[in-house]
């Protein structure tokens, strides 16, 4: 029997005996405890999930961990009057959702302890009421009815709304269906529509006949914008950013887009666009209320991590220089990996409200494990924000670079000076609140350098990053990510280390330290003795991350944990790209959602490390047991 197994067995027996002793110690107090709901369940519910029904009632029971709290056995008192009210709550819940003959009763079952009770709600749902016919009635005759019936959006909603034929009749859906038809009419150009839903019940057949009455009113056109709240911007600048125009046909979609565009502008921190009370005719007045940010702001950020050790960022911004609604920002960033200063001047409107242009000169110094890079240059970017979840950027960057290798060998030039003249194209698709629900994030990137003979280097880089977030429950999430990149050039050794692909690190493949997964080269001390391995990088890489995130708020507020399985590889040449070369790590960690972001501690274990990963050089082991592990600490999610 191994030493670890003995320790585990002893710990388990000790905890079990201690718990039994504590419970026995408290047996004398059992007679003084009021009856408690120790277990709570619902049976007979074929249509609705248990958790949904439990949320409708007042009765509660302790969870697994709370039942282990032998020192506190109160807080879930059994009150029969409240259980009777819960029966009524459940019956009304079902009746509003199309079950007029539902029957609910409760049962109390004694357990081993007199004060421990099991409560079961038994539900007989009965036959639901089914919608057998849906009719529309249009207040205005003639063209408006024809226009509505022929509109694709109206037809689609007529086929998909929640009170259509063959579905269970639910009275609580009236307001939802009215709102859906109002929204369609608003987007078709009707600013003042009226919709009402009613139903006739046949108690003998247990069916419902649904009537939907529609009064579209006149087609509307924007006639006047009443603006309030401006301090430094002009009304013309605000209207230009909204993309609304006098004389355009009314549309709720255009109003919503205008609100998003104004809110997305750096100058405005609050905006509402509403239709005030007015005559029900074709001329529509809008109220636009805004609040501006302070013209100038200073922001200081601070963070720690095992890779950057300490990082700080200081930025100063002017949101409306010279009254143009442009933006100017100066920012400096300092850490053990990066030091730099960059300026950014942004034109928020190029040819429409979705487009902007930025000029960004910068100076930067990077201190990686295998090289030190000093560079300066300018980036000119055209940005197009098509919607909240879809955007793209095309930019031209010119930089002068001075790279110095750390501990170069005889094949590598220790100094490398070069210019980069490159076109970069970046895309982004990300559904709102991507990290909750079941959403996608997709980020393609491409870079072409040295076109038309400009710059020192000629290469092409292409990569894509795809992420998927799936909620497995109210407190459990599955997060998936994969990223791959390809680099085309004449000779890898002629390319600077900065543009090669790497893998490994806190936000990459955990278990390996920053950029340490993949091909490496040995580094020696002044006496010619082996000291360590340094990453070499490559022309292709592939990484993936699989992580299950579990919220533990029921134990400690804002606390959680995760388990992960990561993998990846770097290939020096594209033809060597082979999935069988992937290296894997497994591990877990803890999360704390602090006001400055999730604080993460992860520990990863290398499943199939190479000799270089374990610091074995020419058959001699220079490593230790911890080389198979990777400890990661940072603020922010891994991906």
Model confidence pLDDT, tens digit, residues 362-403: 999 999 988 999 999 999 999 998 887 899 999 999 999 999
Q: What are the phi and psi torsion angles at 173 (to 5°)?
A: -85, -5
Strands 36-43 and 116-124: parallel
Say how many domains are in the chain: 4
Q: How far apart, in whole angstroms, are the C-alpha atoms of residue 397 and residue 377?
A: 7
* 236 and 199, same domain (yes or no): no
* 152 and 236, same domain (yes or no): no
Structure tokens at 245: 């125009």
Average pLDDT over residues 430-453: 79
Q: How far apart, in whole angstroms, are the C-alpha atoms of residue 615 and residue 628?
A: 10
Q: Is residue 248 part of a domain?
A: yes
Q: Is residue 328 part of a domain?
A: no
Q: Which domain holds residue 225?
A: 221-292
* 146 and 281, same domain (yes or no): no
* 505 and 637, same domain (yes or no): yes
Residue identified by tokens 């003042």 is 192
Q: How far apart, in whole angstroms, are the C-alpha atoms of residue 70 and residue 23?
A: 6
Q: How far apart, in whole angstroms, are the C-alpha atoms of residue 632 and residue 334?
A: 20
* 167 and 42, same domain (yes or no): no
* 98 and 146, same domain (yes or no): no
pLDDT at 242: 93
Tell which residue, 198, 75, 82, 78, has the closest CA to residue 136: 198
Give me the sign of the Cα torsion angle 492, 493, 497, 499: negative
Q: What is the pLDDT of residues 276-304, one digit of tens each?
A: 999 998 999 999 999 999 999 999 988 88
CB atoms closer than 10 angstroms to residue 360: 18
Last residue of one domain, picked from the residues 104, 124, 144: 124
Does the pLDDT value for residue 11 go beyond 50?
A: no
Q: Is residue 256 part of a domain?
A: yes
* 41 and 138, same domain (yes or no): no
Contact between 593 and 613 under an 8 Å Cβ cutoff? The reply is no
- Give 466's strand partners: 442, 482
**CA distances (Å), 237 to each of 234, 256, 262, 323, in order?**
5, 18, 10, 10
Q: What are the phi and psi torsion angles at 600 (to 5°)?
A: -115, 135
Q: What is the pLDDT of residues 570-592, one digit of tens each?
A: 999 999 999 999 999 999 999 88
Q: What is the CATH number of the domain that holds 243?
A: 3.10.20.310
* 57 and 111, same domain (yes or no): yes
Give 515-518 contacts, CB < 8 A, sequence gap 24+.
515/368, 515/369, 515/370, 516/369, 516/613, 517/568, 517/569, 517/570, 517/583, 517/613, 518/568, 518/569, 518/570, 518/571
* 600 and 516, same domain (yes or no): yes
* 227 and 101, same domain (yes or no): no
Last residue of one domain, picked from the residues 181, 215, 249: 215
Cα radius of gyration rounded to whole Å, the chain = 33
pLDDT at 538: 93
The size of the chain, in residues, is 639
pLDDT at 527: 85
Q: What is the CATH number of the domain that holds 537?
A: 2.40.160.50
pTM as predicted? 0.75
* 140 and 230, same domain (yes or no): no
pLDDT at 232: 94
Chain centroid to Cα 190, Å, comes to: 35
Q: How far apart, in whole angstroms, are the C-alpha atoms of residue 119 and residue 42?
A: 9
């Amino acid at each position: 029997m191994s030493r670890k197994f003995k320790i585990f067995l002893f710990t388990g027996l000790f905890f079990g005996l201690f718990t039994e002793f504590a419970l026995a110690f408290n047996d004398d107090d059992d007679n003084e405890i009021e009856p408690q709901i120790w277990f709570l369940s619902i049976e007979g519910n074929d249509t609705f999930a248990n958790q949904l029904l439990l949320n409708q009632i007042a009765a509660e029971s302790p969870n697994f961990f709370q039942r282990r709290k032998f020192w506190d056995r109160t807080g879930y008192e059994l009150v029969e009057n409240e259980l009777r009210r819960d029966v009524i709550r459940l019956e009304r819940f079902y009746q509003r959702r199309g079950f007029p003959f539902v029957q609910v009763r409760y049962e109390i079952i004694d357990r081993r302890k007199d004060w421990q009770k099991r409560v079961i709600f038994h539900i007989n749902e009965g036959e639901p009421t089914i919608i057998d016919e849906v009719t529309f009635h249009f207040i205005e005759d003639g063209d408006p009815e024809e226009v509505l019936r022929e509109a694709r959006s109206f037809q689609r909603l007529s086929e998909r709304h929640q009170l259509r034929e063959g579905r269970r009749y639910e009275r609580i859906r009236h307001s939802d269906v009215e709102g859906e038809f109002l929204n369609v009419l608003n987007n078709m150009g009707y600013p003042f529509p009226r919709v009402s839903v009613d139903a006739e019940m046949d108690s003998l057949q247990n069916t419902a006949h649904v009537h939907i009455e529609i009064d579209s009113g006149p087609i509307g056109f924007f006639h006047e914008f009443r603006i309030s709240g401006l301090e430094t911007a002009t009304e013309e600048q605000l209207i230009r950013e909204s993309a609304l125009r006098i004389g355009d046909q009314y549309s709720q979609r255009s109003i919503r887009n205008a609100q998003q565009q104004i809110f997305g502008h750096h100058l405005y921190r609050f905006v509402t666009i509403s239709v005030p009370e007015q005559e029900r005719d074709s001329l529509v007045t809008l109220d636009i209320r805004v609040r501006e940010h302070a013209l100038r702001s200073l922001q200081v950020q601070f963070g720690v991590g095992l890779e950057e050790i300490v990082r700080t960022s200081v930025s100063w911004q002017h949101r409306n220089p010279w009254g143009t609604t442009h933006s100017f920002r100066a920012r400096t960033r300092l850490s053990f990996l990066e030091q730099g200063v960059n300026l950014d001047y942004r034109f928020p409107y190029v040819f429409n409200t979705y487009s902007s242009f930025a000029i960004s000169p910068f100076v930067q110094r990077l201190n990686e494990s295998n090289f030190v890079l000093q560079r300066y240059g300018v980036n000119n970017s055209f940005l197009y924000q098509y919607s909240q979840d879809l955007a793209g950027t095309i930019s031209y960057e010119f930089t002068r670079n001075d790279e110095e290798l750390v501990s170069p060998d005889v094949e590598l030039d220790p100094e490398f000076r070069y210019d980069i003249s490159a076109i970069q194209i970046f895309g982004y698709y990300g559904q709102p609140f991507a990290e909750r629900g079941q959403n996608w994030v997709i980020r393609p990137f491409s870079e072409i350098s040295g076109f038309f003979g400009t710059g020192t280097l000629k290469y092409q880089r292409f990569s894509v990053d795809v992420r998927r977030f799936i909620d497995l429950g109210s407190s459990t999430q599955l997060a998936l990510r994969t990223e791959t990149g390809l680099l085309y050039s004449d000779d890898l050794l002629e390319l600077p280390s900065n543009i090669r692909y790497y893998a490994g690190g806190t936000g990459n493949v955990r278990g390996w330290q920053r950029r340490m997964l993949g091909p490496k080269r040995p580094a020696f001390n002044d006496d010619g003795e082996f000291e360590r391995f340094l990453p070499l990088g490559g022309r292709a890489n592939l990484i993936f991350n699989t992580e299950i995130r579990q919220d533990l708020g029921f134990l400690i507020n804002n606390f959680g944990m995760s388990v992960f399985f990561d993998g990846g590889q770097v290939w020096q040449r594209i033809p060597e790209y082979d999935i069988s070369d992937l290296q894997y790590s497994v591990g877990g960690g803890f999360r704390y959602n602090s006001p400055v972001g999730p604080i993460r501690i992860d520990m990863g274990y290398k499943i199939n490390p190479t000799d270089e990963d374990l610091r074995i050089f020419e058959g001699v082991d220079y490593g230790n047991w911890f080389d198979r592990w990777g400890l990661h600490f940072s603020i922010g999610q891994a991906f």
